[in-house]
């Protein structure tokens, strides 16, 4: 194979299938594709500020894959596909910083479980993306990377904490990307950047080698430009990991024929979709102008009409859980110190700190993040006594009751999914902070149920709006059917104009 025909392959909006087909047809090599994306990062990331580190080994890895392809064919379903990782996922060949200056030189000895899976499938780790420092917040601000900008309006936030990945994938700096979600982080960033994001059922995807925030809420998930690419990613990322026992719950949940087999353009026919109407509009009247929320609601009303037009029965409204009860099940403030300190202990000798407090006391954490840690009283908690903390244990019990109540409502209304906005307002202008009260992320986070976000259109100002669909436990196949059908019927994804073809810029 040669690289002389690379002008016949356009990486802008290229899908996994496009890449694989182009490599098979010898229209491009993995090496040439990596070069094209690296050129885009070099040309555009000064504006976007999404990338923390480019992988120096990406081109060598691509050349090895090209040689392997010439001898034996593709190594796996993601052969030659460049991926951007959120920089809280361990990589043996690059720093893993969680966006923190204090961790700038931290080099784990091995990859996170999901990174191993992606590489085994043939993916090329192209770069690692900025994030909200320590994943604690929803703006994507870090001491190491500064502020990431929205790909559709550089004056606005990309949301977070996976905002760097989302902005980079939206701007076509890689084919696919990874995020993590404690509450919102693989949902609102894709929503704000016209992407697809998947928060899997708790126990479907391993958390080994991921800088943690909450044991009971953390998960990794795909960030992609299409539902099909998100399904292809989840096929690779999902699976049992003996080092993360919670994955035993999902060991038998992955379809034998993969999630890709559930990409059904007619998936909305006879589907029943409930509308969580109470989560439309401002949840806190002081958080944002009512007109901002109205702009999002207008887009979602059109989305509801599109669901009906595609064959779905819309149950509007449905009530699932009481908001106060949902908020009363918050546990991140309890778990953050315990989980982060355990991660540091597991990486002894690789990271020069023994505790979150020690890292915090360096004074290097971005002020916006440090103030959130202060305001939440994170460092006041005693992570080692949580098994005796009555308040914490009661909150965990509430979570089980919440999940049971939600699943009961699914059965009673015979629902395939419930729909609501991943954010009730558009991305805010910097330097304002994205209001957490307007991100209805806790239903999936507190119950462990799966959710997928797909583009639903744009406001009159051209700001992307997403639609979130929540499903039953391990019902990702049905969510993919519904989401793919909606995507194919509406075709809302549009690349940001500022980051088009290099030749045309």
Tokens of 22: 């182009």
User: Could you report the per-residue pLDDT of 249-287, keeping only the tens digit for each?
Assistant: 999 999 999 999 999 999 999 999 999 999 999 999 999
- How confident is the model over 328-367, as pLDDT tens digits? 999 999 999 999 999 999 999 899 999 999 999 999 999 9
Scored b (16 or more CB within 10 A) or e, 159-196 reads bbbbbbbbbbbbbbbbbbbbbbbbbbbbbbbbbbbbbb
Give the integer Cα–Cα distance in Å for 469 and 60.
Answer: 40
Task: Quote the mean pLDDT of the chain.
Answer: 96
Q: Quick one: DSSP state of residue 434?
A: P
Task: Dump pLDDT digits (tens) for 294-320.
Answer: 999 999 999 999 999 999 999 999 999
**Residues 234 and 504 sit within 8 Å (Cβ to Cβ):** no
- Of 80-84, 131-135, 185-189, 319-323, the range with the lowest mean pLDDT is 319-323
Phi, psi angles (nearest 5°) of residue 147: -105, 125
Q: Are 132 and 161 in contact (CB under 8 A)?
A: yes
> Residue 382's pLDDT is what?
87
What the chain holds in terms of domains, given with CATH numbers, is 16-321+410-504 (3.90.1300.10)
Please say if the pLDDT value at position 72 is more than 50: yes
Residue 114: is its pLDDT beyond 90? yes
The pLDDT score that the predictor gives to residue 503 is 77
The pLDDT tens digits for 165-203 are: 999 999 999 999 999 999 999 999 999 999 999 999 999
Long-range contacts of range 391-394, CB-CB < 8 Å, 24 or more positions apart?
392/331, 392/334
User: Would the pLDDT of 482 be above 60?
Assistant: yes
Residue 214 has pLDDT above 90, yes or no: yes
Average pLDDT over residues 486-499: 97
Per-residue pLDDT for 465 more than 80?
yes
Q: Is the peptide bond before 121 cis (omega within 30 degrees of 0)?
A: no
The alpha carbon of residue 357 and the mean position of all alpha carbons in its chain are separated, in whole angstroms, by 27
Task: Work out whether strand 451-458 and strand 141-142 pair parallel, antiparallel, or are unpaired.
Answer: unpaired
HSE of 264, CA atoms in CB hemisphere, 13 A: 18
Is residue 4 predicted with pLDDT exceeding 50? no
Whether pLDDT at 12 is above 90: yes
Nearest of 185, 186, 190 to residue 455 by alpha carbon: 190
- Which stretches of 121-271 are DSSP H helices? 163-170, 188-192, 227-237
Torsion over CA: 6, 8, 11, 17 (sign): negative
What was the pLDDT predicted at 7?
A: 56
If you average pLDDT over residues 431-456, what whole number do you get? Answer: 98
DSSP state of 53: E
The 3-state DSSP composition of the chain as helix, strand, coil percent (nearest 5) reads 40, 15, 45
Return the pLDDT at 381: 86
Strand ranges inside 59-157, DSSP E: 82-86, 124-129, 141-142, 146-147
At residue 244, does pLDDT exceed 50? Answer: yes
Does residue 209 register a pLDDT over 70? yes
Active site residues: 86, 161, 185
Confidence band, pLDDT 50/70/90 cuts, at residue 504: low
Residue 411 has pLDDT above 90, yes or no: yes
Q: Helices 30-48 and 58-72: crossing angle, nearest 10°? A: 150
Tokens of 104: 């700038």
CA separation, residue 27 to residues 1, 19, 35, 72, 76 (Å): 9, 9, 14, 18, 19
CA distance 408 to 402: 10
Asked if pLDDT for residue 2 goes beyond 60, the answer is no
Residues 6+ apart with CB under 8 A from 267: 478, 480, 481, 482, 483, 484, 485
pLDDT for residue 383: 86
């Amino acid at each position: 194979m040669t690289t002389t025909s690379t002008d016949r392959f356009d990486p802008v909006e290229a899908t996994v299938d496009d890449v694989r087909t182009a490599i098979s047809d010898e229209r491009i090599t993995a090496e040439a594709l990596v070069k094209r994306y690296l050129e885009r990062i070099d040309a555009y990331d000064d504006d976007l500020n999404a990338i923390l580190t480019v992988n120096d080994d990406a081109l060598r890895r691509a050349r090895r894959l090209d040689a392997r392809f010439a001898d034996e064919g593709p190594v796996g379903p993601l052969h030659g596909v460049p991926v951007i990782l959120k920089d809280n996922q361990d990589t043996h060949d690059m720093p893993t910083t969680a966006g923190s200056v204090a961790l700038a030189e931290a080099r784990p000895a091995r990859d996170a479980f999901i990174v191993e899976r992606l590489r085994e499938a043939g993916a090329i780790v192209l770069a690692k993306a900025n994030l909200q420092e320590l994943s604690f917040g929803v703006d994507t601000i870090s001491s190491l990377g500064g502020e990431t900008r929205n790909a559709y309006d550089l004056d606005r936030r990309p949301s977070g904490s996976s905002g760097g990945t989302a902005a980079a994938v939206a701007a076509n700096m890689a084919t696919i990307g990874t995020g993590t979600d404690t509450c919102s982080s693989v949902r609102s960033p894709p929503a704000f950047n016209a992407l697809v994001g998947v928060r899997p059922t708790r126990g479907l995807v391993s958390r080994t080698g991921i800088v943690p925030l909450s044991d009971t809420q953390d998960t990794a998930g795909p960030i992609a430009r299409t539902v099909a690419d998100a399904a292809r990613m989840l096929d690779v990322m999902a699976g049992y990991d003996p080092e993360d026992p919670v994955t035993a719950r999902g060991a038998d949940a992955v379809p034998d024929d993969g999630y890709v087999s559930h990409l059904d353009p007619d998936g909305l026919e006879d589907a029943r979709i409930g509308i969580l109407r109470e989560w439309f509009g401002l949840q806190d009247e002081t958080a944002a102008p009512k007109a901002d929320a109205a702009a999002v609601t207008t887009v979602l009303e059109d989305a509801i009409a599109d669901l009906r037009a595609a064959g779905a029965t819309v149950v509007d409204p449905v009530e699932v859980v009481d908001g106060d009860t949902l908020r009363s099940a918050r546990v991140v403030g309890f778990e953050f110190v315990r989980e982060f300190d355990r991660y540091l202990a597991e990486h002894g000798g690789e990271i020069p700190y023994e505790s979150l407090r020690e890292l915090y006391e360096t004074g290097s954490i971005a002020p916006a993040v440090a103030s959130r840690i202060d305001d939440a009283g994170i460092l006041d908690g005693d992570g080692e006594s949580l098994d005796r903390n009555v308040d914490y244990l009661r909150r965990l019990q509430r979570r089980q009751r919440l999940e049971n109540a939600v699943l009961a409502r699914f059965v009673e209304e015979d629902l395939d999914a419930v729909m609501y906005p991943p954010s009730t307002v558009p991305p805010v202008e910097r330097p304002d902070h994205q209001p957490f009260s307007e991100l209805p992320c806790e239903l999936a986070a507190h119950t462990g149920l799966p959710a997928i976000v797909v583009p639903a259109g744009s406001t009159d100002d051209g700001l992307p709006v997403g639609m979130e669909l929540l499903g039953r436990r391990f019902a990702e196949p049905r969510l993919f059917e519904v989401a793919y059908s909606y995507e194919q019927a509406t075709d809302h994804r549009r690349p940001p104009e500022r980051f088009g073809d290099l030749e045309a810029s």
